[in-house]
Every structure is written in C-alpha cells, then in structure tokens.
Amino acid sequence: MAELTLLTINCGSSSLKASLFQAGGERMRFHYKHIDSNHAQNYANAFKALLQDLGDIQPDIIGHRFVHGGEVTEAARLLDKAERARLESLIPLAPLHLTNNLLGVDLCIKQFTCPQIACFDTSFHNTLPEIAYRLPIPQSLKIRRFGFHGINYAHVAQQLPLLLGKAALGRVVIAHLGHGASLCLLENLVSVDTSMGYSTAGGIPMGTRSGDIDPGVILELFNRFDSAQLVALVYHQMGLIALSDGESSEMQALIESDSENAKFAVAYFARQVRAAIGGYAAKVGGIDALVFTGGIGEHARLVRALICEPLAFLGFHLNADANALDLTFLNTLTSKPILIVPADEEAEIERLIRRWSLTNPIKIKGEHS
C-alpha cells in the first residue's frame, strides 16, 4: 500500500491549526490565530485561508478534531451523512467548537473527494471510573461527565514514558492551559479524572468561560436573560474576560497589563488550577508528576510560578531558572517532576487516522488495483 498524504485539522476555541503530513514524511504546519469576536465569520475566513494555502494539494484522508463525540467510544469515525447529523445534534454541548468543526467539514467536502474522519476529544476519557463520571443528579436524566482536550492528553501520555520512565505510570496531573483549559489525572497513562464535565463550559476558568459555578447562579441568570442571551453569556462573557472586568480574555495581555483587574484575573486563574491539583492529590493520596501543556501552560511563566509555588506541601518545587527558559523539566533536584510537553493535537489526529486506515483501506491516488 502506498504512503498516505494526510491533512489534520484542529479547530479550537480561539485558533485554527492544521498540518499536512505528506507521503515523503514532510510536515507542513498552518496556524490562524486570534479568532474571538465575530466567531463564525472569522472561522470561515481562517478555513478559506487554509484551503488557499494548500493550493492544489489533494490529501488521501482528512482528520478533524471534534471536541465532543457524545457517548461513542471510538476514537475516530467516518464522517458520513449520519455521523454529521449526530454531531450536529451535540452543538449545544460545545457551541464554541462544534459549529466551526462542522463548517470545516462542509468546506472540505466542497474542496476534496477523500474520506473525512472525526477524531474525538471525549474518547480519551472513556476510562473514567463511575465515581468520576457520574453527577449527583437523578440517573433517569442520562446526563454525565465526559471530559475534553482528550486528543492532546493522549499525545502527552505517549510522550511521558520517554520523559519519566516508570514514573509515567504513577499519578500524573496534566494541566492543559490555553484559551480553553482543563486538567486530567492519569494513572497507568489513562484518564481517571478530569476537570471539565458534561460540557466545555465546566471545570477551571477559561478565556471566556467561567468553569464550575453554583447552579443557583445559573438559575438566577435564567430569570434575567433569554436562552440565546444566556448561551452567549456562558460561552463568551465569563472567565478571564469577566474577571478582568472586560479588559481581555487573553492571558498574555493580562500578564502584561498593570491594571488591578488584570492582576486579579491572573491570580484567580492560578488559584483555581492549584485547587484542582490539590483536589486530585486528596482523591488518590498524592501526585507523582505535574505536566504543563497548551499555550498558557507552555509559555506563561508567571502563571506556572503562581500555580507551583504553593504546591511545596505536595513535593513540587519550581526551578526559577528553568521556568524562565521554558525548559522541558522545571523542577529542582529535590522536587517531584514538573515538566512542559508541547501540545500537538494534529500529530495525535494523524496517528488516529492512520490507525483507522488500517481497518478501512482506501484506494490512494495513483495506486492500481
């Protein structure tokens, strides 16, 4: 079988990333940033730019990151009409992502004739035990916790044995910190708990999402706003943008600001991340390693310091010099491991669609029967 040329598309809450993995082994990367206001139009423009940048290249398979896969257990599924309709029904659970995920699919259908594959963030969390995925609500409602950012958690988990050896099999917390953010607790390299839940609005605070919030607050807001206004508030007007009193949803802008509102937002974010890490330590009796990934996790030195400095009681001690240089290992010699593993959802999508192609053979351009 000839080598495949694969296009992977990672549609996030504030950027569009793509990679073309060519048959000869080369990788072309594409990145379109700062997609915040006027979400739909900005994503349409980003996809248009991507298709223009690809030129005449015709991939053999296209893999799309889908934040929410619902109840399915497969990591990757063929995007036929039925699957597209199923994913469209999940839009209320991840409106920042799924609408634009499907936009990308539709635009690619017009441009290319190859199979398109959906790869799901939620599938990595299929290993969650019942005590982690159940909610304290009537079971008859059939609402549970799912977990997200799973494609990157899977990528990070594959790197950990190379970096940590046998310690990778222990109790590892991965902090995926970006415009969207969550944490995941691994044991034996599988997900056993995570901060996000039923939707992408839960967990720790994010750029424009509050994270976990008292249900009574939502009930009060329901009395003040109609459903469309409430959705806009929950997904676009909370989190860092609200904590900074409208100054910015971008962590780097807040770090660079001298305003008290910005400083408060940064401190609040770090405090909530620490709380989640401490909660995992209490649940499983300690943490063996801490991993930072995502845009904030990889680049926001102040945020890493604010998170790590109070965690000495758990055995984590940040090396200030290593932190200032964004080195892979950030811990002192007497500390448990603290490290950075760069996010790479596109590499994991490539792995998933290559694995899919092994059981779903396709005819490649130029290949004879």
Provide the token pair at 356: 């899919």
Q: Which residues contact 16 (CB under 8 A, 6 or more apart)?
A: 9, 10, 30, 31, 32, 35, 43, 46, 47, 50, 100, 104
Interior/surface letters 157-195, b for 16+ CB within 10 angstroms, e for the rest:
bbbbeebbeeebbbbbbbbbbbbbbbbbbbeebbbbbbb
Which residues participate in catalysis according to the annotation? 121
Task: State the Cα–Cα distance between residues 260 and 245, nearest whole angstrom.
Answer: 10
- The 3-state DSSP class for residue 102 equals helix
Task: State the Cα–Cα distance between residues 157 and 159, nearest whole angstrom.
Answer: 5
Span between the terminal Cα atoms of the chain, in Å: 11
Query: Quick check: 148 and 67 in contact, CB under 8 A?
Result: yes
Task: State the Cα–Cα distance between residues 78 and 241, nearest whole angstrom.
Answer: 37
> What residues are paired with 21 via a beta bridge?
6, 27
Query: Quick check: 152 and 344 in contact, CB under 8 A?
Result: yes
Q: Which of 16, 47, 18, 36 is nearest to 6 (CA)?
A: 18
